[in-house]
Amino acid sequence: MKELPARRLLLVHAHPDDESINNGVTMARYAAEGVHVTLVTCTLGERGEVIPPELRHLTGAELGAHRLRELTAAMAELGVDDFRLLGGVGRYGDSGMMGLTDNDDPACFWQADLDEAAASLVEVILEVRPQVLVTYDDNGGYGHPDHIQAHRVALRAAELAEGVDERAGWRIPKVYFNRVPRSVAEAAFARLQEELPELPFTASAVVSDVPGVVDDDRVTAEIDGREGAGAYAAAKAAAMRAHATQVEVAPGERYFALSNDLAQPLFATEYYELVRGEPAQSRETDLFAGLSGVSRIAGTEGVA
């Protein structure tokens, strides 16, 4: 078994661009600190709506291939070398928004057999042996079928990886869901309303459009990417800009819009809810906090 860095982080996302919007600061920070950061993306987002007029001819597999190139560029901005497509490139197709006939396509991720898809992720878990897993909540953050399925696959894979056998199994000690504290979202949108006339967007989104907004007391960790913390927010904005078919970042890198042209905040601090692991007395500023060694199945050797 190859030697790995002491700290290993696994993120599971639905489409290219989700990782940069939700976790760009976190990925940039930990990559810079020498953590082994692994991103698993479940689809290529072939049904995404394209923003730039000059790229709107891209559809289906051609759009998927382009979005993979965008993902590669985004990972270069974040300093992440280990990024993969679940089951290999093109294994699972984009399912489209909830309620569309696209959801019925047998090749889409929403229709994937849960244990079969999870088995592909188990292979990654056993290879990388992450101590921290980040993914969406059971609503996928905002109800998209691919996000919900990514949540299901991530948690099922974590469960299956523990029971492979007593020699090869792996237990992930800490699991987090992506979150945004309600007070932070409301304050950010209040500022957005004041600054909207200066932005290149037609109107503003609303707090309920932001995935994973919860009451503040449910948030257990935050990763600050502002200037004093290493300017990881700048890397996040650059990664989001690399996803040009899906994201438009406004000058100043404080706001962005998706294909609906509705402005929303670009969060320079990212937030999480611990759903597996020992809770701290106060809000964590390190997702690896409290891990003194590697959690493992009896008989499995590893590095701390």
The reply, when asked if residue 15 is annotated as ligand binding, is yes
Contact status, residue 14 vs residue 146, Cβ threshold 8 Å: yes
By the 10 Å C-beta count (0-12 exposed, 13-18 middle, 19+ buried), 202 is classed as: exposed
Interaxial angle between packed helices 18-32 and 60-78, expressed in degrees from 0 to 180 and rounded to the nearest 10: 30
Contact status, residue 9 vs residue 217, Cβ threshold 8 Å: no
Task: Give CA angle at 156 (152, 162), nearest 5°.
Answer: 160
Contact status, residue 65 vs residue 90, Cβ threshold 8 Å: no
The reply, when asked if residue 81 is annotated as ligand binding, is no
- 83: tokens are 């990024």
Cα-based distances in Å from 101 to 110, 268, 302: 12, 36, 46
The amino acid occupying position 207 is V
Longest Cα pair distance anywhere in the chain, in angstroms?
Answer: 61
Q: Which of 252, 272, 250, 275 is nearest to 263 (CA)?
A: 250
Cα-based distances in Å from 65 to 60, 120, 244, 270, 276: 9, 21, 14, 29, 35
Cα-based distances in Å from 144 to 13, 35, 68, 232: 12, 30, 20, 28
Q: How far apart are CA 137 and CA 53, in angstroms?
A: 34
Q: How far apart are CA 7 and CA 236, in angstroms?
A: 21
The reply, when asked if residue 147 is annotated as ligand binding, is yes
Contact status, residue 146 vs residue 279, Cβ threshold 8 Å: no
Q: Write out the binding residues.
A: 15, 18, 147
Q: Write out the binding residues for Zn(2+).
A: 15, 18, 147
